[in-house]
């Protein structure tokens, strides 16, 4: 656990959260600034900054195996959901603790990005 990490404090119970799922390796809770009607985060209990921090493949597999369970718990298993992992400064990550976003509860469009052809701007700008 990193002493100054927000998600480590949530996992340890030092900061309250709306728990959705928990096991020996991970903890899932609802995002306090949701980007969709369903926006739940799955975090490993052991601190890793992001995917580039030597995360064991077994742990990554476990985190991904929990996603459908969380989707069922949140009522989006049948309708569909999006799973996202942000890594690095261009990803818009805000907490340096590896986490998976599960987003759902609404019909989602395709991803668009700043400067992408889809948002009407030139990627070269």
User: Residues with catalytic annotation?
Assistant: 99
| Torsion angles phi and psi, residue 44, rounded to 5 | -70, 145
**Nearest 5°: CA angle at 93, between 89 and 97?**
110
Name 80's Cβ contacts closer than 8 Å, sequence gap at least 6. 104, 108
């Amino acid at each position: 656990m990193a002493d100054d990490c927000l998600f480590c404090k949530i996992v340890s119970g030092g900061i309250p959260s709306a728990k959705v799922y928990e096991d020996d390796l991970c903890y899932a809770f609802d995002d306090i600034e949701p980007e969709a009607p369903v926006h739940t985060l799955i975090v490993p209990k052991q601190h890793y900054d992001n995917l580039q921090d030597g995360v064991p493949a077994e742990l990554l597999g476990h985190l991904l195996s929990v996603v459908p369970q969380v989707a069922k718990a949140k009522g989006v298993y049948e309708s569909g959901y999006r799973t996202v992992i942000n890594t690095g400064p261009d990803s818009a990550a805000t907490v340096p603790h590896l986490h998976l976003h599960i987003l759902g509860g609404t019909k989602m469009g395709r991803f668009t990005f700043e400067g992408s052809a889809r948002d009407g701007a030139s990627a070269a700008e």
